[in-house]
Structure 1
Amino acid sequence: MVMENYSYTHLSAGDLLREERSRSGSEFGQLIDTYIKEGKIVPVEITISLLKKAMEETMKADDKNFRFLIDGFPRNQDNLQGWNHVMDGKADVKFVLFFDCGNEVCIDRCLERGKSSGRTDDNRESLEKRIQTYLQSTRPIIEQYEKQGKVRTIDASQSVDEVFADVKNILEKEG
């Protein structure tokens, strides 16, 4: 919905990783597959290289496409440090959209998505592992961005339309 209404290019770290995993001849495919199935975070070098390449290709195709909504990244301190190192002076994080939602709601939604997504990690065991990884590794990154005043929190337990209304308010305020 954001992409339909605003001039952002959506890049999903997870989608880029899954794409690379299934790409014929990928040197990282098996490694990515193992990490995803275990609910672990893929090594930063792989994820950043995929994000950077996607950003560069988008801007090369149309130099007016320079605003990105990066979904699912950074997920840990290593990701954040890698991003800061590789993208310093090349990209500026304006703000972070934090979709806050209880664990059971997240699990239920992912299990529902799993009925048609074909994703190997849309099962209760992987999801519970991902929640533990989130609490240990990702939540501290959100707290770092909060200290910088860059986090915009949205109650994601609401309906899709209510969540999008909150997102619209933030995007309109942020410019």
Structure 2
Amino acid sequence: MIENMIKEGKIVPSEVTIKLLQNAMLESGNDKFLIDGFPRNEENRAAFEAVTKIEPAFVLFFECSEEEMERRLLSRNQGREDDNIETIRKRFKVFVESSMPVVEYYESKGKVRKIDAAKPIEEVFEAVKTVFTAQDDKVKWQSTLS
């Protein structure tokens, strides 16, 4: 069903995505999770909390200017069709319109941990470790940066 919806250019309903996430979380046997890129909008957020009855401990938000994002995406040279200035700017606009209200919602609850993503990779990684270590002093980190 999901595959067909994607092929047809349709949006997969939040409840379907959330049930898949919830099943994966339950099957993993873990009690802590990092979900990347979700919720993407307020409807996703409200549906996730309603279906799972889970409110995140915190939201990790990587701050990066539009100019820096453009520079990085245009220079990553992965041959992606969507790595062009027009598409990048459209995606950024959609992010600001759709995803920023989610960030603002959690920020009003004191749950947003911001990271300055414009800094060098090593500094960003150290800042992320600090956020997670502050949440759980038992976390053990091993850098995979070379």
Q: TM-score, normalised by structure 1?
A: 0.67
Select which of 115, 119, 133 maps to 1:172: 133
Asked whether the 8 Å contact 2:42–2:102 carries over to 1, the reply is yes
Q: 2:112 — aligned with what?
A: 151
Gaps of 5+ in 1: 1-26, 36-40, 60-64
Distance 1:171 1:52, change over 3 A: same
Distance 1:46 1:132, change over 3 A: farther
Looking at structure 2, the residues matched to 145 and 50 of structure 1 have their Cα atoms a distance apart, in angstroms, of 23
* Identical columns (%): 43
Q: 1:155 offset after TM fit, Å?
A: 0.3
Looking at structure 2, the residues matched to 104 and 50 of structure 1 have their Cα atoms a distance apart, in angstroms, of 35
Asked whether the 8 Å contact 1:114–1:123 carries over to 2, the reply is no
Looking at structure 2, the residues matched to 150 and 122 of structure 1 have their Cα atoms a distance apart, in angstroms, of 32
Select which of 44, 51, 55 maps to 1:86: 51
In the alignment, structure 1 residue 98 sits paired with structure 2 residue 68: no
In the alignment, structure 1 residue 31 sits paired with structure 2 residue 29: no
Q: 1:73 — aligned with what?
A: 38
Number of positions where the alignment pairs a residue of Structure 1 with one of Structure 2:
135
Alignment RMSD: 2.2
Asked whether the 8 Å contact 1:97–1:154 carries over to 2, the reply is yes
Select which of 8, 13, 17 maps to 1:47: 17
Gaps of 5+ in 2: 137-146
Asked whether the 8 Å contact 2:15–2:48 carries over to 1, the reply is no
Q: 1:112 offset after TM fit, Å?
A: 4.0
Q: Return the index of the structure with the highest Cα Rg.
A: 2
Letter of the 1:101 partner, please give it. Answer: C
**Relative to total residues, which structure has the larger helix share, 1 or 2?**
1
Q: 1:97 offset after TM fit, Å?
A: 0.6
Q: TM-score, normalised by structure 2?
A: 0.79
